[in-house]
Amino acid sequence: MTQTQQQRLSAILLFLMVLLVDFYLNISVDLQFSIWGVGYTIIKLAVFYINYQWLHPRLLTKKKYAWWVLGVVALVLGAISLRYLVEEILYLRWFGYHNYFDGTTLGFYYKDNYLRFGTWVIVGSVIRFTQQWFVLREQQRELEKQRLTAEVSFLKSQINPHFLFNTLNSIYSLSYQHNEKAPEAILKLSEIMRYMLYDTEDKQAPLDKEIRYLHNFVELQKLRFNNNMYADILVEGEVAGQLIAPLLLIAFVENAFKHGVLDDPNDPVMIQLTVNGLQLQLYVQNRINHHVKDQTGGIGIANIKRRLALLYPGKHTLHIENKDDYYICELNLQLA
């Protein structure tokens, strides 16, 4: 069943529900089923459906207010005239009785009936407006969802190409020198590229793969600096079976390499990741390098803050500070 068919069905069911209430109230008053009630009910249904299906969507929705008013007036007058023809002329001729008292003028008849039918015009428009509001809200939610998905995909795609170019140059140098570490470097780069291209297509990736990606990144950085770069990665807790938004943690590690002192074995870059149930804590600390900075772009802290806000609203805290010549990032994240 299409969405349009569902809307029509729900409108008719709602109308019938209201009609049953109206019918029950009429019966409870006079306790007698009147034959003219059948014709009256059919005409009310026609008024409701014509406005709901034709006048409202073709005129009122398109802001043709004057035409809609004229259409409603014509519809109500036509319904009153039809009821008068059926109940006051045809029923009198066929069955010998009519609905209204003898002597009822045509003016009084129209005056007494315009609200009866006008009410069902209003009911039809209210139902149509309500349905349109729900449909519009759902469309807005879907558009917002698509926008957020596109934004997250864009933010995720902003991986530092400088790292890739430098790594390829390092591998080229190793290969040119016939260094035995060249195959290992190629393998690690292959794992990184495979993870970035194939394992990050879903909204979440296994946490152990994300951590493996960080290890490969650090190892390749060491190869770039001929092992004259010092960084420690410490992982605590059970990471198997946990899921995380892909490429979420690399920004903090990359930022440490970008701005930190890397060649001091007594003060290495510290990367500590702790998992306690569904709680993840990432702690990254590096001594600030005031002399040499990598000015090329990367994912960036501003980028990762935006991704965290989109992907983990109300489920994360991020604390960043400069303390005693050290740059410290601490992320606490609820994985599910």
CB 209 within 8 A of CB 199: yes
What's the DSSP call for residue 101? P
- If residue 169 lies in a helix (H) or strand (E), which one and from where to where? helix 161-176
Listed by start position, the domains of the chain span 3-148, 158-334
Q: Which of 75-79, 138-142, 234-238, 261-265 has the lowest mean pLDDT?
A: 138-142
Q: Is the pLDDT of residue 8 over 80?
A: no
For 290, half-sphere exposure in the C-beta direction (CA atoms, 13 angstrom radius) is 3
3-state helix, strand, coil in the chain (%, to 5): 60, 15, 25
pTM of this prediction exceeds 0.75: no
E-assigned strands of the chain? Answer: 205-206, 231-236, 243-244, 269-276, 279-287, 316-323, 326-334
Angle at 314 between CA 310 and CA 318, to 5 degrees: 80
CB 78 within 8 A of CB 50: no
What pLDDT, on the 0 to 100 scale, is given for residue 289?
A: 85
Q: Is the pLDDT of residue 34 over 60?
A: no
What pLDDT, on the 0 to 100 scale, is given for residue 334?
A: 94
Percent over 70 (pLDDT), the chain = 79
What pLDDT, on the 0 to 100 scale, is given for residue 153?
A: 61
- At residue 71, the 3 state secondary structure works out as helix
E-assigned strands of 86-143? Answer: none
The string of pLDDT tens digits covering residues 216-239 is 888 888 877 777 889 999 999 999
Mean pLDDT is highest, among 11-25, 52-66, 82-96, for 52-66
The string of pLDDT tens digits covering residues 68-88 is 889 888 988 888 888 888 777
Q: How far apart are CA 60 and CA 232, in angstroms?
A: 68
CB 261 within 8 A of CB 209: no
What's the DSSP call for residue 177? T
Angle at 205 between CA 202 and CA 208, to 5 degrees: 165
Query: Across the chain, how many H-helices and E-strands are there?
Result: 10, 7
Average pLDDT score over the chain: 79
CB 49 within 8 A of CB 124: yes
To which residue do tokens 């795609």 refer? 157
Mean pLDDT is highest, among 8-17, 157-166, 271-280, for 271-280
Burial of 41 (0-12, 13-18, 19+ CB in 10 A): middle
Fold of 158-334: Heat Shock Protein 90 (3.30.565)
Burial of 223 (0-12, 13-18, 19+ CB in 10 A): buried
